[in-house]
């Protein structure tokens, strides 16, 4: 068997983040030696070996793996996890993906497999949302991060703090948040006496983007490019130190979230030991449930809510909503409702 990995080099000379993460995962699992050859696909250079291979196989995204077996038959993988599972030796894969864990923590095993996720789902599906948070923190401690930005996320922090267990909190500081949001972040930090890691965009990506496209390109051709740099890439960096993360997503927030599962393997990201476990304990909560909790438990909230803002993101992309409007109608209001996601929670639900 001969394995070729194609990695992408960007116009600014840097290696693509996802390619680096794939390489890191293979190295962390002791599988890097299985890759026989690495070819670079250099942005803007169609004749570079990786670009030529991508063109010949009809591939548009990196990294990808071309696996040729002894009979000459070829398979192409764009998912490093699928590549590991299907191509590398079963014993090596098993050892790499399943860490030895104490018996009491059986459910923590192999979050990359459907069987592993089903086992976890069975374990936690009957628990209250607060108990799900407690379960995750008992297993993962500070390797479990709460992604903090909105009202729902403070409920998660409230529960985490009350659990008395270690946990982490990060927030994506896009550089375009409202002053009120920064004040809110700091109020939550001091109210709970916790550290909040602010993840800023990579200047190597942001500066060329702003120089070329300006500060408001999203009004003309959509928000995804800006969100990719200001939110998605920093999220990937934040999750590299995690084994699990918890979000405040609710199914009734938007059409794009109607099938969010309680638990999933986050195959879009690489954590400390492979794809992190992603937990969405508030999937069944409504907006009224959230506000009832915030008020009953005197949990801090963003003062913009008192001025008609419902779902709050970056300042130029958020506006107040009228009482008759849906809570996410004020986000990227100039775009179709089915496209109003920033890319943080991408792809079809895993289950
Ligand atoms: S929400 Fe708007 S300003 Fe913020 S990252 Fe996305 S496009 Fe950029």
pTM (two decimals): 0.70
Tell me, what's the pLDDT at 158? 98
The dotted CATH code for 2-97 is 3.40.30
Cβ–ligand 1 distance for 230 under 6 Å, the answer: yes
Alpha carbon nearest to ligand 1 atom 7, residue: 223
Whether residue 351 has pLDDT greater than 50: no
Catalytic residue list? 342
The dotted CATH code for 103-339 is 3.40.50.620
Ligand 1 nearest atom to the CA of residue 331, by list position: 1
- Contact criterion met (CB below 8 Å) for 201 and 175: yes
Distance, in Å, from the CA atom of 158 to the CA atom of 244, rounded to the nearest integer, reads 18
| Residue 331 per-residue DSSP state | B
Alpha carbon nearest to ligand 1 atom 3, residue: 314
**DSSP percent split of the chain into helix, strand, coil, nearest 5:** 45, 15, 40
Alpha carbon nearest to ligand 1 atom 5, residue: 227
Tell me, what's the pLDDT at 109? 52
Ligand 1 nearest atom to the CA of residue 225, by list position: 7
Cβ–ligand 1 distance for 176 under 6 Å, the answer: yes
Confidence band, pLDDT 50/70/90 cuts, at residue 345:
low
Going from the Cα of 179 to the center of ligand 1, the distance in angstroms, rounded, reads 15
Instruction: Return the closest-CA partner of residue 286 out of 249, 314, 260.
Output: 249
What is the bridge-based pairing of β-strands 277-279 and 168-172?
unpaired
Going from the Cα of 290 to the center of ligand 1, the distance in angstroms, rounded, reads 25
Rounded mean pLDDT of 182-198? 98
Rounded mean pLDDT of 337-346? 63
Tell me, what's the pLDDT at 322? 87
Q: Is the torsion defined by CA of 50, 55, 60, 66 positive or negative? A: negative
The reply to whether 2-97 and 103-339 are identical in fold is no
Map residue 223 onto helix, strand or coil.
Answer: coil
- Contact criterion met (CB below 8 Å) for 146 and 171: no
Going from the Cα of 302 to the center of ligand 1, the distance in angstroms, rounded, reads 18
Tell me, what's the pLDDT at 20? 86
pLDDT per residue over 219-231, tens digit each? 998 999 999 999 9
Ligand 1 nearest atom to the CA of residue 218, by list position: 7
Instruction: Return the closest-CA partner of residue 246 out of 114, 142, 117.
Output: 142
Cβ–ligand 1 distance for 231 under 6 Å, the answer: yes
Q: Where in the chain are the domains? A: 2-97, 103-339
Go through 86-105 and write b for each residue having 16 or more CB atoms within 10 A of its CB, e for each that does not. ebbeeeebeebbbeeeeeee
Pick the range with the lowest mean pLDDT from 18-32, 210-224, 293-307: 18-32
Residues 6 or more apart whose Cβ sits within 8 Å of residue 96: 29, 30, 31, 84, 88
**263 - beta bridge partners?**
279
Instruction: Return the closest-CA partner of residue 8 out of 37, 36, 49, 56.
Output: 49
Confidence band, pLDDT 50/70/90 cuts, at residue 76:
very high
């Amino acid at each position: 068997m001969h394995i070729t990995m194609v990695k992408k080099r960007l116009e600014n000379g840097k290696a693509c983040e996802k390619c680096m993460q794939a390489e890191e995962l293979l190295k962390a699992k002791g599988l890097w030696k299985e890759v026989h050859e690495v070819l670079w696909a250099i942005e803007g250079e169609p004749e570079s070996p990786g670009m030529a291979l991508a063109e010949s196989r009809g591939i548009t995204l990196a990294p990808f793996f071309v696996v040729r077996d002894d009979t000459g038959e070829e398979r192409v993988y764009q998912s490093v996890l699928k590549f590991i599972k299907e191509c590398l030796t079963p014993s090596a894969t098993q050892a790499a993906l399943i860490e030895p864990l104490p018996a009491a923590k059986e459910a923590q095993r192999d979050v990359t497999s459907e069987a592993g996720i089903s086992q976890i789902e069975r374990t936690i599906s009957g628990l209250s949302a607060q108990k799900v948070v407690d379960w995750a923190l008992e297993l993962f401690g500070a390797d479990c991060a709460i992604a903090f930005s909105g009202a729902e996320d403070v409920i998660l922090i409230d529960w985490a703090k009350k659990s008395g267990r270690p946990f982490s909190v990060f927030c994506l500081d896009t550089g375009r948040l409202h002053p009120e949001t920064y004040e809110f972040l700091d109020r939550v930090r001091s109210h709970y006496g916790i550290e909040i890691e602010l993840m800023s965009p990579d200047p190597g990506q942001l500066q060329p983007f702003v120089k070329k496209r300006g500060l408001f390109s999203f009004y003309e051709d959509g928000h995804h490019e800006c969100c990719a740099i200001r939110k998605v890439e920093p999220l990937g960096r934040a999750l590299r130190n995690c084994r699990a993360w918890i979000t405040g997503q609710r199914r009734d927030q938007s059409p794009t979230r109607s099938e969010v599962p309680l638990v999933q393997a986050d195959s879009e990201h690489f954590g400390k030991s492979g794809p992190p476990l992603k937990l969405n304990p508030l999937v069944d909560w409504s907006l009224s449930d959230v506000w009832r909790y915030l008020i009953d438990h005197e949990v801090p909230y963003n003062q913009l809510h008192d001025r008609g803002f419902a779902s709050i993101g970056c300042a130029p992309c958020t506006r107040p909503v009228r009482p008759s409007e849906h809570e996410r109608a004020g986000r990227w209001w100039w775009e179709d409702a089915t496209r109003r996601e920033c890319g943080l929670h991408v792809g079809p639900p895993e289950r």
